[in-house]
Structure 1
């Protein structure tokens, strides 16, 4: 994600450019004004993406049993904090200190903003007015936290707190930045294969999904989730209203996620592009909800609220790889396919006895792959071959690297809670507290 990689497509954007050239009222703003608007876009959209951390916390809190809610809240606020620290210590330079066409960036420690230099040469041309360096760092950092949040929900209710947070350190400091540099840092996937992922269907969401999948396999399913006869035992979450609130917060935050990835707001063309991205993002989420509801009615003979919620997320993930080029109708279809994929993937995981508490693997990994594959349909600058190479390369790297870390933790300090602690609930076992103390310990039986 950098300004030099931004692609302006036809349609409304081209019309805005033409209008800007023809009418004095749409004359180009000064370089300094564009600098301010670009910086403001990074910061405001970054605020929205940061608020997604609250969305993940609420969604996961609603989807886990009440005896694990406080632990989920601790994990989400701590993983966000770790992501910020590790991206400062090593992650940003590792992601953006890469040579063009390279495979890995710089392991320099302690990134520092170069805003003095940025201001000294901030406005070389009206076409590239620049932005505050720290605003870019902040915007990139909140994306890292999103990838880590995906893992939290999948391995909930049986992973120990500190081993999980150690995994987050490696994910945010090394694993995420290396694969991100291959595309957004202008590394080999961008230079050699033209891989295209506008806002991170693969680089953020599938990355989190692959890391979550490895964790779910290595840690194993929750006690009692799968019977010896192959039966799947439902383990209902503590609060569907809370999970619904979390989904709406994520939906809101996604406007910053995708809209901010335009990486500029210094011209009329950029403003039109961001408006189009907002509309397409909203349409894809809506398509995902309705498609998931219809699919769950067909598959399960009833509408499942959890499927509808993950249908929204699946639709959002699906459009994230290319939220600018599609039409509104196309966005609804892209999101709708994502919603159907969520409904189909959940029972498949259960058949494989892969326990994903919140359904993050279907919504983020499966829909991330789908959203990345469909990019060439609306963006002629991308190719199916390049997209497939990128999906496979990132999937292999993240899976292998994540598995190494999970296995290392399992062999040393252990990653899974004791059976007694898991049955009692991690809130009391690891935190010595309860999320809902007024209900009393006697209510914590499931």
Structure 2
């Protein structure tokens, strides 16, 4: 066996293994989101995650991969690689093309899963399928090409986004913001004066298990992005990932404890995820000490962003906009501050920070605007929002014909149809 063939085999095993870890994160999304929504919508959120996997994989195989990684055209999109056909030598891979696609397909599925939680409990299932097709075929691959495609225009400017704080999380987080605004808030979430009526999650232990699954999978997300089993950076990347997530959880927990006297479990879980999201761009570029700072700030930023989203009367049941959109944007920009090579605070250089800010603003804007256009077009085919009756009964029974817990949670958990507030919000009055 030659050294080259041994290296190919090791890299292939490493990428398949870490891709499997990323795909397993879908179980984390399912558990986390099911725990944060009401019991009458648990089956619905699980089915949306199945849609992410099933249709996301198929669309990324047939269209998305080619747009994202095909031979570059004008720095904007790829032009071959559809159905994994054509010469992909321009990528300079150290693994087979189909193995690289496997890893990238897991990323594409993660991007659409970020949106599913933000529009939970009131989105038409058919409309969600159509949006999944748009996200994984066009929306994510296009902006992904700008950053990661061979010769993409942001890549050519020097943007650094190792595993996707901007390309995946910030873009999808702001896509989730657009989707949540278009679909509208759940019935009874906001009063006429803008005040918030908290809607209790159905199962915090389930959400906690989902957080742990996502936490585990993130080591594949970040360390796997080396695409190289013998990379000297794997250990540092994994350590940065752990430190940032721990500091994110710590800052969120302590912030709520000091502010309210109680350690909030939902914010603690999302604080861990915020730290993970924020370090995803810089895990290969910043020091371990910087990872701690990035994660700690992300945990508090997530709480502030959650409040901002609610003040804008946007209903996000799982906090996807704050966790992925805002902390993803921060994490991408933080590379320009803390990178050991070119960071403003580490080297005094401004260029990288400027590129990171530009790229982050571009992909966030793209996620928001493209999702707005996609959902407006989908509205012409099928309703994006469920009916008032379907929402009050719950999407489990309305769209899937069964309850998650053998009848538990099938009762009306929202305000009565007879209440004027509900009728006003539903457009009856």
What residue ranges of structure 2 are gaps of 5+ in the alignment? 344-351, 416-429
- Match for 1:333 among 279, 287, 293? 293
- Per-residue deviation, residues 46-69 of structure 1 (Å, max 9, x unmatched): 010000000000000000000000
> Aligned pair 1:324/2:284, yes or no?
yes
- Per-residue deviation, residues 394-417 of structure 1 (Å, max 9, x unmatched): 122222111001112224311001
- Match for 2:339 among 378, 383, 397? 378
> Aligned pair 1:350/2:310, yes or no?
yes
Offset, 1:298:
3.4
Aligned mates of 1:239, 1:310 — CA distance in 2: 15
For the 8 Å contact 2:163–2:222, the answer to whether it is kept is: yes
> Aligned pair 1:393/2:357, yes or no?
no
Offset, 1:81:
1.1
Local SS of the residue matching 1:394: helix
Offset, 1:299:
3.6
Aligned to 1:303: 263
> Aligned pair 1:48/2:21, yes or no?
yes
Aligned to 1:196: 160
For the 8 Å contact 1:35–1:129, the answer to whether it is kept is: no
Local SS of the residue matching 2:354: helix
1:202-213 correspondence to structure 2 within 5 Å: 202-213=166-177
For the 8 Å contact 2:38–2:409, the answer to whether it is kept is: no
Q: Give the alignment's TM-score, normalised by structure 2.
A: 0.90
> Aligned pair 1:68/2:41, yes or no?
yes
Local SS of the residue matching 2:72: coil
Aligned mates of 1:161, 1:129 — CA distance in 2: 38
Offset, 1:303:
1.4
For the 8 Å contact 2:171–2:366, the answer to whether it is kept is: no
Local SS of the residue matching 1:415: coil
For the 8 Å contact 1:207–1:365, the answer to whether it is kept is: yes
In structure 2, do the counterparts of structure 1 residues 390 and 442 end up closer, same or farther at CA, with 3 Å as the change threshold?
closer
Aligned mates of 1:98, 1:46 — CA distance in 2: 24
Aligned to 2:346: none
For the 8 Å contact 2:287–2:340, the answer to whether it is kept is: no
- Match for 1:140 among 95, 104, 123? 104
Local SS of the residue matching 1:221: coil
- Match for 1:432 among 377, 398, 401? 401
What residue ranges of structure 1 are gaps of 5+ in the alignment? 1-28, 119-127
Aligned to 2:117: 153
Aligned to 1:221: 185
Offset, 1:230:
2.2
Aligned mates of 1:345, 1:351 — CA distance in 2: 10
1:224-263 correspondence to structure 2 within 5 Å: 224-263=188-227
Aligned to 1:111: 84
Indicate the RMSD between aligned Cα atoms, in angstroms. Answer: 2.0
Aligned to 1:163: 127
For the 8 Å contact 1:113–1:133, the answer to whether it is kept is: no
